[in-house]
Copies of this chain bind each other. A is one copy, B any other.
Amino acid sequence: MPPKIKSEQDREQLRTLILDAARSLFVERGIEAVSMREIAKQIKYSATTLYNYFQDKEALLQAVCDADFLALASGMREIMQIPDPIQRIQALCRGYAKFALHHPGHYRFMFMTPRGPCNMDITHIEQGNTEQDAYAQLQAVVQAAFDAELFRADLNDSELIVQTLWAGVHGVCSLQIALGNEIWMQWTDIDARLSLMQNALLRGLLRQPDRIF
């Protein structure tokens, strides 16, 4: 039996040990292919120990994703410094898509898997905090472009624009994750798909479509 954890510091250390083990299995195999027993075995603890640190499997995976999406949002901060709002939107979408395609397990768990109606108690990302939440970042930059009257005059709901842009990028990414390896689909190049989605959407939303190439 391993030495017991008493101090709050050591406890946090074991917690992140579990998170790391879960992450590695979570990343290399798909998602539900990772079992509590296997995570525990990897760190040489019994499976039930995990339940002293996480309420259940879903909470564990949620914690993994929370941490990594926090890292994503943090990595986006320099993009948020780009002065031109349109370029900022484009860079943000590209960064978001890149993360999604490089972390398909994470992305699937976060955005492609229906949950019970309320997860507020599990996730620890403070919603609406631009520093932390990737969605809020897109929200902020779209609002900036909206305030600068860059969007079509008949589009009067900034939130609707945000969600449309998100849905567009999400559509490309999630299709790639779910069906990207299907033989019967003759996919065009994923970068081309992403580019055209951004290009077409912005052209269709902006007051001056010619600004987008």
Q: Which residues of A contact B (CB under 8 A)?
A: 30, 104, 108, 111-115, 117-120, 123, 127, 155, 157, 159-161, 163-164, 166-172, 174-175, 177-179, 181-184, 186-188, 192-193, 196-197, 199-205, 209
Closest B residue to A205 using CB positions: B200
Could you tell me if A178 and B119 are in contact, using CB atoms closer than 8 angstroms? Answer: no
- B112 near A178 (CB under 8 angstroms)? yes
Q: What are 14 of the A-B contact pairs (CB < 8 Å)?
A: A30-B114, A111-B175, A112-B112, A112-B178, A115-B182, A123-B184, A160-B188, A160-B192, A160-B196, A164-B200, A167-B171, A168-B197, A170-B175, A171-B172
- A170 touches which one: B108, B120, B171, B184 (CB < 8 A)? B171
User: Please, how many angstroms separate the alpha-carbon atoms of A182 and B186 in the complex?
Assistant: 34
